[in-house]
Amino acid sequence: MSREPILIVGGGLGGLTAALALARRGRPARVLEGATEFGAIGYGIQFGPNVFHVFDRLGLTEQVMAVADSPPAVLMLDALTGKELVRIPTGASFRARFKHPYIIVHRIDVHNVLLDACRQNDAIELIPEAMVTGFEERGDSVAVTTADGRTFSGDALVAADGVRSLFRAKLIGDGEPQPIGYVALRTIVPMAELKADVPRDCVVLWSGPGLHIVHYPLRHGSEFNIVNVFRTAAHAERLDAAAARAELEHAYRNTQPSMRALIGMMDLRWRRSIGDRAPMRHWHQGRIVLLGDAAHAPLQSLAQGAGMAIEDGLCLGEAIHVADGDYQAAFRRFEAARLLRTARVQLESRSLWDFYHLDESLARDVRNASVAEWDEAHLFDCLAWLYDGAPVPGGR
Ligand SMILES: Cc1cc2nc3c(=O)[nH]c(=O)nc-3n(C[C@H](O)[C@H](O)[C@H](O)COP(=O)(O)OP(=O)(O)OC[C@H]3O[C@@H](n4cnc5c(N)ncnc54)[C@H](O)[C@@H]3O)c2cc1C
C-alpha cells in the first residue's frame, strides 16, 4: 500500500480526473496547481460521448449533464459560399448509436463539477499556488519543490501540467510544441448581443482557405462561444490592437457576411499561437508519468485534447490500482492502453486540420464533392473508434 499520496502536478481536467480515479480506488492524491486558484480558462468546450464512459465510472454524469447542453447537430459550412458541407446529427439517432450524448459546456462549469467531487473526497488534497519548479527522484519516492520554496513528496508523480509541461521538458527534452503558423482567438458573448445571422443551437464549423470559425451556444442558450483561427505570419501571442484587428479583417475578407459579423465581436486580447506535439511512444521514467497534453497534445480539430486527458485520468488510476503499488508495471500498462488511441487523435487532428483549411483549388472541390456523399451511417461509422470510448485496465 502507498505510504505517501501520489503527487499530481496540474489541476486541469486531466489532473483532477486522475485524482478522482485514484481516490476511488483508495489511493490518496495531492494535487499541486501553479495558479492562485483551481479553475479553468473561461471558454466553451465540446465533448464526444467517449468521456461519459469516464464520468459514469466516477459518478459524475448527472452533474455534468446539469451544466451542459446537447446540440441537435454539428455542421461544417463552406466559409466562401455559405453552403452546408457536412451535417452530423447529434440528436436521438446519435444517442441511440453511441449510448451517450455529444455535449457543449462552459469549461469552468465542467471543471467545477470535478473540483467539487475532489473537495468532497478526503483522499484528495488540493494545493493551489504551488508552481512546481524542480523535482528529484529518491529511489522509492519523488520530491518536488515549488517557486516559493516548499517541498512535497509522494510515492509517484503524475505530470498533468499541460502542453508546456516542465516534466516533459526535463524527461523528454523535445522543446516547445511545434507552432503551425496559425493563431486562435476566443470570445464569449451574451446570446442577446449576437448580431450575426448564424445557427444558434448547433456546433458550427466554417471552413475556409487558411481559416475557420467554430461557434456554439453555452449555458442553456444564454451565451455564445466563438473561436476563430487563421493562418498568419505574425503568430506572436501579443500584437497591438489596431494591427490585430486589421490582420483579422484582411484574413476573413472573402468569407460570408455572417462570419465577418462574428469576427467583429472577437476579443483580441486572448490570442494564442497554435501548436501540437508529435506522437511519442513513452511517457514515463522511473516514478514519473506524463498525462494529457503533457504526453500527447493534439491540434483542436477533433475537439478531443481534454477528452483524451480525462480518459487518461481514469485509465491511469485503474492501472495503478491493478498493479497494486508496482508503478513501473502500472505506467507500462497505462502507456500500452493509451498509446495508439492518443496517437491516432494526434494524427487525425493534423489531417483534419489540413482538410478544413484547403486553399481554393481542385483539392478543395474534390473535398466538397466527396463529403456531399457522406450520410449519417457513414459518419457514425467513421466516428465509432473515437466515440465508442476506450478500454481501461481491469475491464471496461
Ligand atoms: C482553442 C482551443 C479549443 C479547444 N477545444 C477543445 C474541445 O472542444 N474539446 C477538447 O476535448 N479539447 C479541446 N481543446 C484542448 C484542451 O484544451 C486540452 O487538450 C486540455 O486542456 C488538456 O488538459 P490537461 O489537463 O492535460 O492540461 P491543462 O488543461 O493545460 O492543465 C494543466 C494545468 O497544470 C497547471 N500547471 C502547469 N505547469 C505547472 C507547474 N509547473 N506546477 C503546477 N501546476 C502547473 C496549469 O496551471 C493548468 O491548470 C482545445 C484547445 C484549444 C487551444
311, 182 Cβ separation under 8 angstroms: no
Question: And the C-alpha cell for 175?
Answer: 522543446
- Alpha helices by DSSP H, the chain: 13-24, 51-58, 61-67, 92-98, 107-119, 166-171, 241-251, 257-263, 293-296, 305-323, 327-356, 362-371, 376-387
Residue 311 has pLDDT above 60, yes or no: yes
Residue tagged 497534445 (cell numbers): 297
The answer to whether residue 269 scores a pLDDT higher than 90 is: no
> Which grid coordinates are listed for 283?
511517457
pLDDT tens sequence across 202-254? 999 999 999 999 999 999 999 999 999 999 987 666 778 888 888 999 999 99
pLDDT band at 2 (very low <50, low <70, confident <90, very high): very low
What 8-state DSSP symbol labels residue 114?
H
Cβ of 218 closer than 6 Å to ligand 1, yes or no, is: no
Nearest CA to ligand 1 atom 50: 300
Q: Strand 29-32 and strand 124-127: pairing?
A: parallel
pLDDT of 267 reads 87
- Percentage of the chain beyond pLDDT 70 is 98
Backbone angles phi, psi at 84, to 5 degrees: -75, 125
Q: Quick one: pLDDT at residue 71? A: 98
Across 112-116, 271-275, 300-304, 368-372, least confident range: 271-275
Summarised one tens digit per residue, pLDDT across range 271-286 is 889 999 999 999 999 9
Please state the rounded mean pLDDT for residues 372-380. 96
Among the ranges given (73-82, 176-185, 309-318), the one the predictor scored with the smallest mean pLDDT = 176-185
Residue 298 Cβ inside 6 Å of ligand 1? The answer reads no
Whether the CB of 71 sits within 6 Å of ligand 1? no
pLDDT at 196: 94
The contacts of residue 193 (CB under 8 Å, 6+ apart) are 265
Q: How confident is the model at residue 41 (pLDDT cuts 50, 70, 90)?
A: confident
State pLDDT tens for residues 319-356. Answer: 999 998 899 999 999 999 999 999 999 999 999 999 99
- Residue bearing the CA closest to ligand 1, atom 33: 10
Q: Are 102 and 71 in contact (CB under 8 A)?
A: yes
307 lines ligand 1 (CB under 6 A): yes
> Quick one: pLDDT at residue 336?
96
* Nearest alpha-carbon partner for 49 in 20, 90, 89: 90
Residue 392 scores a pLDDT above 70? yes
Ligand 1 contact via 18 beta carbon (within 6 Å): no
* Mean pLDDT to the nearest integer, 191-207: 96
Instruction: Give the mean pLDDT of 276-298.
Output: 96
Predicted confidence (pLDDT) at residue 396 exceeds the cutoff of 60: no
Q: Is 49 in the pocket of ligand 1 (CB under 6 A)?
A: no
For atom 29 of ligand 1, which residue has the closest CA?
A: 12
Contact indicator for 226, 187 with CB cutoff of 8 Å: yes
The arithmetic mean of pLDDT across residues 136-156, rounded, is 95
Query: Which residue, by CA, sits nearest to atom 30 of ligand 1?
Result: 162
The whole-number average pLDDT for the span 310-321 is 97
Give the number of the atom of ligand 1 that is nearest the alpha carbon of residue 186: 1
Q: Whose CA is nearest to atom 2 of ligand 1?
A: 300
Query: Residue 112: pLDDT above 90?
Result: yes
Question: Which pLDDT band, with edges at 50, 70 and 90, does 149 fall under?
Answer: very high
Q: What is the mean pLDDT of the chain?
A: 95
Q: Which three cell numbers stand for residue 346?
A: 494526434
pLDDT of residue 178: 84
Distance 140 CA to ligand 1 centre (A): 29
Q: What is the pLDDT of residue 237?
A: 66
User: 11 C-alpha vs ligand 1 centroid, how far in Å?
Assistant: 9
DSSP H/E element including 71: none
| Pocket of ligand 1 contains residue 12 by CB under 6 Å | yes
The atom number, within ligand 1, closest to the CA of 305 reads 19
The whole-number pLDDT of residue 331 equals: 97
Cα separation of 309 and 311, whole Å? 6
Centre of ligand 1 to C-alpha 82, Å, is: 32
pLDDT tens column, 162-174: 999 999 999 999 9
